[in-house]
Structure 1
Amino acid sequence: MNNTWTIFKKESRQMALEYKWIWLPVVFILLGATQPVTSYYLPSILEMMGGEQGVTVDPSKFVLDGNTILAATLASQFDQMGLIIISLSFMGIIQGEKASGILSFMMTRPLNLRSYLLGKWVAAYSLIAFSMMAGFGTSMFYSHYLFDGVNVGIGIKAFSIYLVWGMFILSVIMTVSTLLRGSGSVAFVSIVILLLFRMLAGLDPLVDLFNPASLSLEAASVLKENGMMSGITWTLLFVAVWIPVLFSLNEWLIKHRKVYLRHG
């Protein structure tokens, strides 16, 4: 536990030096504000662009409630641009230390590998969760004042479900960062894998039980319909299996394939 805490403090300090604790929450705040503000002004924008010769806008088509806007924030902003930004922000979480030789040096110290990985994961996830919270809170604020209001209790419930999907996102990025050498390839492969999970979500109820990305759809469903899928418990259980499996894979890659060596 002491090793985990030491790594956590080291990673948090490094992210502070890189200003990640500032710019990543700011990015998510902008993403969170984008959906409600754009949705609110979209009818006016279309009217200005179309005029009498353009598209006729039916105002009733744009009658939305705050919870629907929050659901769109998760699906359109966090699951697309947000996912890409997270992948780019943490693509070097293992790869960077592997390339610089720091990981090779640390493995010669009396450091438990699992504690090392856990410390890095907890530090990174703390920042991701904080950033998502800032963005979702901003979206909730604008949705409440620009539309018909927001049910705070339902919003918290939905966001809690979405945070579990965020855990899986980081676990995938961390595993790919351990496996590959180039930071660009880590970001690209991570984005492709995560978007594939997201694209498969909702296509088949049976597949959704095993697909962590279905939790994003579940969060949106809670916001729009205040109801949950019957299989969400199974999905949460499978995510609870996915993450330890990815951790074990990270350990195996470092221990047995010597990926921490710069040219190994």
Structure 2
Amino acid sequence: MNQFGVLLKKEWRENFRNYKLFWIPVVFILFGIIEPLTNYFLPQILDSVGNLPEGAVIDIPPPEPEQILAAVMGQYQLVGLLVLVLAYMGAIAGERKNGTATLLYVRPLSFTAYFLSKWILASVVGLLSVWLGLITAYYYTMLLFERIDFTKFLQFAGTYSLWILLVVTFVLLLSAAMPNAGMAAAASLLLIIIFQLADGLFGAYWTVSPLKIPGYAVSWLLDSPGNKEFWGTMGISVFLILAMLGSGIWMSKYNASKTKV
């Protein structure tokens, strides 16, 4: 436990010194602000750049507040995931590549504590960023449009949080498995894109899958997902996270000998 605490403090300092604790939440908050503001001022934006005939009137019905939060989540599915992948692609592979891991590996090291300390900090930063961004989007949506039931919002954000944990765990697993940060990032992004494309093309044939988490998150805003499908998906996702944690710990230990000296 003492070693785990030391490693956790090390990760905290690294995330603080390289400003991940600041710039990652800022990115998510900005997208949480931009989406409702863009929708609110869209008629004026189109009027100023649209070169419309004189006297023409732009009448765009205001979007539903649920649609705005879903659009914010869509931005996180693109830019947000890219930010998390780039931020943590070198968490383990980068330390092996530049030789800084040698300072740890020459001592008796618990690779369970080593991997979990990185996972906890990356998860905390990822979840903090998502929640700050979604709460910001919720506030501006309520301010500019209509209020969304807060219980539905919590169900929406809580469900999407599991997806963020799944992605963070997947990125750290590949960072432990790949020889360098670049390959970890490329593999993470490529596989996430392939999985989501596969779900978009063939997802109608299955309803229980971790890839359905973002869709089930949005469904809390509109109605509610089916209990059987939803809880089946949650259970499989938790199992996958635990399996990837175990695999990440094993890969960290297996590839320790490949550290640059």
Aligned partners of 2:65 and 2:145 also within 8 Å = yes
The aligned runs of 1:114-133 (5 Å cut-off) are 114-133=112-131
Deviates more, 1:197-206 or 1:247-256: 197-206
1:25-54 CA distance string (max 9 Å, x none): 11111011121111112222223333128x
Q: Match of 1:221? A: 219
Identify if the C-alpha distance between structure 1 residues 19 and 232 changes in structure 2 by more than 3 Å, giving closer, same or farther.
same
Aligned partners of 1:6 and 1:119 also within 8 Å = no
Q: Does 2:107 align with 1:106?
A: no
Q: Does 2:58 align with 1:72?
A: no
Q: Match of 1:4? A: 4
- Structure 2, gaps ≥5 residues long: none
What is the DSSP-based 3-state SS (H/G/I as helix, E as strand, rest coil) of the residue aligned with 1:209? coil
- 1:234: Cα distance to partner? 0.9
Q: Match of 1:195? A: 193
The aligned runs of 1:161-176 (5 Å cut-off) are 161-176=159-174
Identify if the C-alpha distance between structure 1 residues 109 and 99 changes in structure 2 by more than 3 Å, giving closer, same or farther.
same
- 1:153: Cα distance to partner? 1.4
- Structure 1, gaps ≥5 residues long: none
How far apart are the structure 2 equivalents of 1:46 and 1:145?
Answer: 22
What is the DSSP-based 3-state SS (H/G/I as helix, E as strand, rest coil) of the residue aligned with 1:204? helix
CA RMSD of superposed structures (Å): 2.2
The aligned runs of 1:37-186 (5 Å cut-off) are 37-50=37-50, 51-52=52-53, 57-60=58-61, 63-75=62-74, 77-186=75-184
Identify if the C-alpha distance between structure 1 residues 34 and 197 changes in structure 2 by more than 3 Å, giving closer, same or farther.
farther
Q: 2:211 is aligned with what amino acid?
A: A
What is the DSSP-based 3-state SS (H/G/I as helix, E as strand, rest coil) of the residue aligned with 2:252? helix
How far apart are the structure 1 equivalents of 2:173 and 2:207?
Answer: 22
Q: 1:244 is aligned with what amino acid?
A: L
Q: 2:203 is aligned with what amino acid?
A: D
- 1:177: Cα distance to partner? 1.0
Identify if the C-alpha distance between structure 1 residues 171 and 10 changes in structure 2 by more than 3 Å, giving closer, same or farther.
same
Q: Percent identity?
A: 27
How far apart are the structure 2 equivalents of 1:79 and 1:259?
Answer: 35
- 1:260: Cα distance to partner? 4.5
- 1:259: Cα distance to partner? 5.6
Aligned partners of 2:68 and 2:141 also within 8 Å = yes
How far apart are the structure 2 equivalents of 1:58 and 1:235?
Answer: 41
